[in-house]
Structure 1
Amino acid sequence: MKIYDAIVIGAGYAGLTATRELLKAEKDVLLLEARDRVGGRVYTKYYDDGSYLDLGAAWVGPTQDKIYALAREFGVGTFPTYDEGKSTLYFNGKVKHYKGIIPPLPIGSLLSLDFAIKRMNKLSKTIDLEKPWDSPNAAYYDSMTLATWMQKQMSFKTARIMFKLAAEAIWAADPNEISMLHALFYTKSGRDLDTLINVKNGAQEERILGGASLPALRLAETFQDKIRLNSVVKNIIQEGELVKIQGEGFEFVAKKVVVALPPTLAGRINYLPIMPANREQLTQRMPMGTVWKTYAIYDKPFWREAGLNGLSATNDGFTTVTFDNSPKDGSKGIMMGFVLGNQAKAFANLSEEERRNSILDSFAKFYGEKARHPITYIDHSWATEEFTRGCYAGLMPTGAWTSLGKALREPVGNIHWAGTETSDIWNGYIDGAIRSGERVAREILG
């Protein structure tokens, strides 16, 4: 049987990058992907009329140098997220439109919110990104949830509500699901909280022209013959110096294997010998976030005519954050609403019609009655995707980083781990996935 130098499992940005780097080193590589497409959690749905929707990751921003470099290499452009005009706050049954990034809240709540953001940024600077468990006070921050810390920091209820909305948008999880140490790690990984929240100079600054899948598709074209789609890996068997990869109707052998999957999916593969206890425990303790993306498509972005930028926040209903996702030329109006964390879990219990009515009802509260009548409505849940099981990324609950964090990237024999969850920079983002692919290739090449 042929022996590959390396087999990579998972053709998201991490797996594609690892494959490319190993091929550059003239290694014989095979990339296996369970789906019928590449891209993983980045999925652009293309329509016959040339339009497209990013149903997964969509934005890029400053210091995400790896995704920008990849896009440039393949002639893929970017364009600014539309944010001209006023943002919208729907709070306590009232609509308020405002300029800039500061929402119109009572002064006490604003000061409390500002203090908490600055405090979190300051604390995040103390985190060791490569070894979060070695950070000062790591055990203390890992013993509490982000929600517990918020309660201690902010005496104003309105400030806590606004911070919670931001946290849900950043992690696609309720603050009570996340360790404070993980929140601090993730914040520093993406520079600071302001960067993670903002459009201008933030993680939502730009979108990829032609869809976020395009750089992945172009990269995959350069080694198409090395990719095998519709190949669900069931077993990974280490025997001596070699590793067997098995699935329905196939078996391959390699010297090295890269598992470029979220930890919860990596944990669903059968390993022989079984994984070390800490690695096994880690994959049990890293749930994915929960998010739906909802889209309403209109013949034009009518909210712009009213001087609104499509950015809104609310603590009412299922969708708590919206963005203008219209194409660069504004030829259609595309309003995108996130349903996040616990709202996303409840949203999953609704029928398609109930989901649609709920979202359009929220859009109408923000942008008027026109919002109730889109040409098309579409929503997408990542929790029901068999080969994802949630989004944006795997999360660390209390205690996980300090007791099991070392097992996240540590190779097991000839098995190596990649994926955005293993990245120390831009963890949870496309850029982090690319960085993890480069890191794992360096690991293998020595």
Structure 2
Amino acid sequence: MNHPKTEVLIIGAGFSGLAAAKKLYENHTSFLLLEARDRLGGRVYTKRFEDFYLDFGGQWIGPTQDRMYELCRENGVEFFETYNSGKNIIDLRQRIKTYRGVIPKLNLFALLNLDWMMRKMQRMANSISLHAPWTHAKAKAWDKMTLEEFLRNNTRSNDAYTVIRVGCETIFACDPKDLSLLHALFYIRSGTSLDCLINIKNGAQQHRIKGGMQHLAEKMAERFAEQIHFNSPVKNIQKTETGNRVSGEGFEWDCKQIILAVPPPLLSEIDFLPELSPEKTQLLKNYPMGRVGKCFMIYDKPFWREMGFSGQSVADESVPFQTLFDCSPADGSKGILMGFTIGSRADSFFTQTKEERKQQMEAVLVRYFGDKARNHSQYEDFTMTDETWSRGCYAALMQPGNWTAWQDAYRKSEGNIHFAGTEAAERWHGYIEGAVLAGELAAEKCLASKEKTESEIML
């Protein structure tokens, strides 16, 4: 029986799969892009309403994310500054204070301890190799230790501990006990610096995409839209004499090479024949996704700006949200506040009904901004943890011991099967930029293999 054929089959139409497809398209290489969802974007998801949109998934870009800015320019997609003017709020022990800038208002001892901690983490991160973090002289000790243990061992002030913990939860999308210190340091180095990861101005949250991040994904895909098949989850990948056979419900394709650009937990649900390497298989058994909920309260206008507030907050576990951000559209035609609920806070928050979740967010916003916060027009929330084809966000987390045990097992190609997604990235690991870089690298491997095969045929 003859099956339809293509040179490269890409699985997953998030930014990594799209970046791979774009490079193959530009190099005149035949490919097909299979997507299990009914939309583009993967862990980027812009939900459009009648007169506004919400980014339920990834939404920011910032300095040193060069490919994302290039993609915006190439596709005529505009970006704008994240709102960052006015007073920020810190909510500790049921007491609310305001501050300006990045560092919250704390007592002198807490500030000194926080500054010392951040400098220490940055020095340690600077010593990590992006290509091979497991080669560091202290790799085994740092990989055995959780980030939580490190924070506890190095903070002398409860307030300093709370603030840096909230920052880490927001950066890594988990409780600090859920990942190794080595992975945290690699992640910081991968994302340029700790300052870059936590900042809006000159940081990873500096810009947003007009129309939402999914708009950029859709523009990228326009030239090769006919080569994208939606609602096509892959069930089986089988090696053949000439390459691979990829199949799912209602389809079978033969291809010479494969790019897998899906969240790591989903790889375990594909039947590979032969199986993936023991190293990759073992890693996938203990490679969970981050847990994040994004909660939005929508108003007719961003009233907090008139009150001199930025819309940003940092809070301890007395409230469900580690942080708040102003996510209003560029023209301020709506006022939108977004709260991040992460890790164990998210686990607890999403056991409640949507109405209860809305009431909790309203109560927090009334405490921060007064009775005007009651005059909302709509509440929405979303967690990628509940999405079948994501299982979490922002990225999969290297557990204690994983880096030193399995090293770069996830990134490595296996024959003519290549692995993309932000988890395969060395630079900007965990971010959309990393997803793009990993997708482009996987496509380059396919092109190099194709060129080698053609050369051998000519000889």
Superposition deviation, residue 48 in structure 1: 2.5
> Which residue does the alignment assign to 1:102?
103
Is the contact made by 2:420 and 2:439 (CA closer than 8 Å) also made in structure 1?
yes
Superposition deviation, residue 406 in structure 1: 2.0
Find out whether 1:18 has 2:57 as its counterpart.
Answer: no
Find out whether 1:354 has 2:350 as its counterpart.
Answer: no
**1:228, 1:328 → 2: CA distance?**
33
Is the contact made by 2:67 and 2:433 (CA closer than 8 Å) also made in structure 1?
yes
Secondary structure of the residue aligned to 1:220 is helix
- Which of 394, 402, 405 is the equivalent residue of 1:403? 405
> Which residue does the alignment assign to 2:181?
180
> Which residue does the alignment assign to 1:136?
137
**2:114, 2:420 → 1: CA distance?**
36
Superposition deviation, residue 92 in structure 1: 1.5
**1:62, 1:82 → 2: CA distance?**
16
> Which residue does the alignment assign to 2:455?
none
Find out whether 1:93 has 2:94 as its counterpart.
Answer: yes
**1:71, 1:34 → 2: CA distance?**
25
Aligned pairs (5 A) from 1:40-55: 40-49=42-51, 51-55=52-56
Paired residue type of 1:263 = P
Secondary structure of the residue aligned to 2:17 is helix
- Which of 327, 330, 347 is the equivalent residue of 2:329? 327
**1:426, 1:199 → 2: CA distance?**
16
Secondary structure of the residue aligned to 2:246 is strand
Alpha-carbon deviations, 1:285-322, whole Å to 9, x = none? 11000011000000111111110000111112111200
Find out whether 1:426 has 2:440 as its counterpart.
Answer: no
Paired residue type of 1:231 = S
**2:100, 2:389 → 1: CA distance?**
41
Is the contact made by 1:127 and 1:136 (CA closer than 8 Å) also made in structure 2?
no
Alpha-carbon deviations, 1:324-373, whole Å to 9, x = none? 01111111110100111110011121111111111111111221122133
Paired residue type of 1:129 = L
Find out whether 1:125 has 2:126 as its counterpart.
Answer: yes
Aligned pairs (5 A) from 1:310-325: 310-315=311-316, 316-325=318-327
Find out whether 1:297 has 2:298 as its counterpart.
Answer: yes
Find out whether 1:197 has 2:214 as its counterpart.
Answer: no
Secondary structure of the residue aligned to 2:414 is coil
> Which residue does the alignment assign to 1:33?
35
> Which residue does the alignment assign to 1:443?
445
Find out whether 1:246 has 2:247 as its counterpart.
Answer: yes
**2:250, 2:424 → 1: CA distance?**
30
Secondary structure of the residue aligned to 1:366 is helix
Aligned pairs (5 A) from 1:264-303: 264-303=265-304
Superposition deviation, residue 265 in structure 1: 1.3
Find out whether 1:416 has 2:422 as its counterpart.
Answer: no
> Which residue does the alignment assign to 1:391?
393
Secondary structure of the residue aligned to 1:221 is helix
Aligned length, in residue pairs: 445
Superposition deviation, residue 2 in structure 1: 3.1
Is the contact made by 2:4 and 2:252 (CA closer than 8 Å) also made in structure 1?
no
> Which residue does the alignment assign to 1:158?
159
Secondary structure of the residue aligned to 2:409 is helix
Find out whether 1:367 has 2:369 as its counterpart.
Answer: yes
> Which residue does the alignment assign to 1:57?
58
- Which of 337, 340, 343 is the equivalent residue of 2:339? 337
Superposition deviation, residue 405 in structure 1: 2.6
**2:91, 2:157 → 1: CA distance?**
18
Percent identical: 43
> Which residue does the alignment assign to 1:67?
68
Superposition deviation, residue 240 in structure 1: 3.1
**2:262, 2:209 → 1: CA distance?**
23
> Which residue does the alignment assign to 2:112?
111
**1:129, 1:144 → 2: CA distance?**
19
**2:322, 2:129 → 1: CA distance?**
32
Superposition deviation, residue 277 in structure 1: 1.1
Paired residue type of 1:317 = V
**1:421, 1:397 → 2: CA distance?**
13
Secondary structure of the residue aligned to 1:319 is coil
- The normalised TM-score by structure 1 is 0.98
Paired residue type of 2:154 = Q
Indicate the larger mover: 201-210 or 90-99. Answer: 90-99
**1:213, 1:85 → 2: CA distance?**
29
**2:270, 2:374 → 1: CA distance?**
44
Indicate the larger mover: 173-182 or 346-355. Answer: 346-355
Superposition deviation, residue 419 in structure 1: 0.3
Secondary structure of the residue aligned to 1:213 is helix
Find out whether 1:145 has 2:146 as its counterpart.
Answer: yes
Alpha-carbon deviations, 1:31-58, whole Å to 9, x = none? 0000001100111111232x21111001
Secondary structure of the residue aligned to 2:184 is helix
**1:148, 1:378 → 2: CA distance?**
35
Q: Which runs of 5+ in 2 are unaligned?
A: 449-459
